[in-house]
Amino acid sequence: MKKVKVFYNKKSGNNDQEKVLQTIKDFFEHDDNKEFELEFVNPESPKEAVALAKKASEEETNLVIALGGDGTINKICGGVFEGGGKSLLGIVPNGTVNNLSKSLQIPQKLEEALENLKEGEVRKIDIAKVNEDYMMSSLTLGILADIAANVRTSEKKKFGPLAYLKDAYKVLRYNKTYHIEVTYNGKTEHLKTKLLLITMTNTIGGMQALSPEAKVDDGLMRVYSLKEINLLKILLHLRKLRKGQFENFTEMNHFDTAHLKMATRSQRKKDIPYSRIDGDKSDPLPLEIKVYHKALTTITPKEV
């Protein structure tokens, strides 16, 4: 018998959780999938999610399924990585944005995502370690992180991406600039930034944007820094931005690296930005980020 563990967060997603779990149970109890021994795991905390996924990987569980949004999937991926990456990782999206699954072209409908676990192909993907946390999709600090800082899980579940609008005007009006130091590729730079965005995929917020050539298995992260926020300019050139064309944005710098250190240049508490990783609040600066190339094995749709 092949062992399958389904990790889920009962607070994550917009769907009826009991119905979702029953659909998964029915899928693995079908005659075609009778060789699988299924177990559901509902960790009590993010820390426990990482620990239990690590244990499952160390025990060489055949398939570890991460069911949920980007935050939940992040924890399970981190745990499997800590456990030596010995388990095959199955991703079943059930969250608000589902950025990682979309970048991997995993179907967003539950039944189709489950079929992908059976019909898809094995693929190696990157993971990054951020201090003691992990990153699968993106990290933000500055305006995007500040806007999301007070958005509760219940609001995300009820309103989806619209939940982030309630604090957007207040943050944009405040218009804060952060002064940070970044070290990468053997050099150190000082940045004045209103928005710093790090991506591991070619999608942001579930939509293809900024770096269409980026890959989940290239061993690199792309770092964007925006010195000024001009909403009209962003709207006028949104199509070019999404295609990764920055010629109209002299205010934006970007670079690729596999290892990055960031620190604040101010010791005042209000000047130290907090980061958000894969949609969840994380550490304030300083941060050290390292990409581990093709460290996880997952299942994605076969290329046509």
Q: What is the DSSP string of 80-128?
A: HHHTTS-SEEEEEE-SSS-HHHHHTT--SSHHHHHHHHHHSEEEEEEEE
In degrees, rounded to 5, the angle at the alpha carbon of residue 240 between the alpha carbons of residues 237 and 244 is: 135
71, 280 Cβ separation under 8 angstroms: yes
Average pLDDT of span 149-174: 51
**Cα atoms found within 13 Å of the Cα of residue 270, Cβ hemisphere only:** 3
Average pLDDT of span 194-223: 84
Question: 73 pLDDT band (50/70/90 cuts)?
Answer: very high
Instruction: List Cβ neighbours of 203 (8 Å cut-off, separation of 6 or more).
Output: 99, 102, 103, 137, 209
pLDDT at 25 over 90: yes
Q: Is the dihedral of CA 109, 113, 114, 118 positive or negative?
A: positive
Q: For 52-67, what is each residue's pLDDT tens digit?
A: 999 999 999 999 999 9
pTM, entire model = 0.86
Question: 34 pLDDT band (50/70/90 cuts)?
Answer: confident
